[in-house]
Every structure is written in C-alpha cells, then in structure tokens.
Amino acid sequence: MMTNPGNQITQGQFSFLPPLTDVQITAQIKYALKSGWSLAVEYTDDPHPRNTYWEMFGNPMFDLKDPAGILMEINNCRKTFPNHYIRVMAFSSVRGVESPTMSYIVNRPKTEPGFRLVREEAEGRSIRYTVHSYATEKPEGERY
C-alpha cells in the first residue's frame, strides 16, 4: 500500500481532491473546449512517473466539441479498462505552446501498490536510483 497522503498516485491536476464526478469532469471539458484545446483519453497499467506514453483510447478528439460526447468516450474507456489508470488530457496547438495543457486522472485500479525505490551503491557514497513499479512484475494487461 502506498503511504503518501491519500495513499494513491498523485500525478495530474486533481489527485489531491475527492474523485471527480461526471458533472465536475464535464465542467473541466467545457473549460478546455472554451480554451480552444483538443481532448484525449489515455490509459495504462504502468503508472511509472516517467512512463510518458500511456495508451491512447483513440486519437485526440480534434473535431469533437460536444462535452457530452467527450464524457461518453471517457466512460467507454472506463468500461473497457475498469482497473486501469485513465487520464484526460488537453492539447493546445497554439504557437508557443503546442503541448499538453491539462492532465488529470479519472479512473484508478482498486488497489495501488505503488513503487519500490531500488538503490544501487555506486562509487564513493553515490547511489543510482531506480523507481520500480510493483504492478509491472506481472505482464501487461494482467496487472491489477
């Protein structure tokens, strides 16, 4: 079990808040759409802090401007991968940004075992650190 405050992975914008309701998620979708951003849904069963590329639940929804439609995609992903981490991301294509502008978790596995810190003693008192995800001891798709 994770021992940090909240006992869960705290990536994303809203991991310190109670789980977002569909109404709250819709409000965030509207904010992104109003800002001119495109939304995307991504999922993974390897939440390593440096696992940049979560699987895409389809391409970013560049042409979908209906918050209800986007929420439907999020819920489809939740139905398909109920025990995975799922995040909603927003992308801006404006010059000077051209990068993600939002990222928040909307689904988690029932239990979050977290990570082990592996220390490899190196020269002098230096230590090489590796963050190891307990879940990845099992093969992909069988982790939670």
Partner 1 sequence: MASETMKEGKERYKAGVIPYKKMGYWEPDYKVKDTDVLAMFRMTPQTGMDPEEVAAAVAGESSTATWTVVWTDRLTACEMYRAKAYRCDLVPNTGEGTKTEAQYFVYIAYELDLFEGGSIANLTASIIGNVFGMKAVKALRLEDMRIPVAYLKTFQGPATGVIVERERLDKFGRPLLGATTKPKLGLSGRNYGRVVYEALKGGLDFVKDDENINSQPFMHWRDRFLYCMEAVNKASAATGEVKGHYLNVTAGTMEEMYKRAEFAKSLGSVIIMIDLVIGYTAIQSMALWARQNDMILHLHRAGNSTYSRQKNHGMSFRVICKWMRMAGVDHIHAGTVVGKLEGDPLMIRGYYDTLLDTHTPMNLEKGLFFEQDWASLNKCLPVASGGIHAGQMHQLLTYLGDDVVLQFGGGTIGHPQGIQAGAVANRVALEAMVLARNEGRDIWNEGPQILQDAAKWCGPLKAGLDTWKDVSFNYESTDTPDFVPSATSSV
Among 1, 3, 59, 79, binds partner 1 (CB under 8 A): 3
For CA atoms 132, 46, 84, 33, the dihedral sign is: positive
Question: According to CB under 8 A, which one of 90, 106, 107, 143 is a site residue for partner 1?
Answer: 90
Using the contact rule CB under 8 A, the part of the chain among 5-13, 55-63, 72-80, 136-144 near partner 1 is 5-13
Q: Which of 63, 79, 121, 126 binds partner 1 (CB under 8 A)?
A: 126
Strands 55-56 and 38-44: antiparallel
Q: Mapping DSSP to helix (H, G, I), strand (E, B) and coil, where does residue 115 land?
A: strand
In three-state secondary structure terms, 118 is strand
Please work out the total of residues on this chain that contact partner 1, with binding judged by CB under 8 A. Answer: 46
Interface characters, 12-51, with partner 1 (x: CB under 8 A)? -xxxxxx-----x--xx-xx---------------xxxx-
Q: How close are the terminal C-alpha atoms of the chain, in Å?
A: 13
Q: Is 110 in the site for partner 1 (CB under 8 A)?
A: no
Which CA distances in Å does 123 have to 119, 120, 126, 130, 131? 13, 10, 6, 16, 20
CA distance 119 to 115: 13
Least distance CB 78 / partner 1 (angstroms): 20
Positions touching partner 1 (CB under 8 A) are 2-5, 9-11, 13-18, 24, 27-28, 30-31, 47-50, 52, 89-90, 95-104, 114-117, 125-129, 131-132
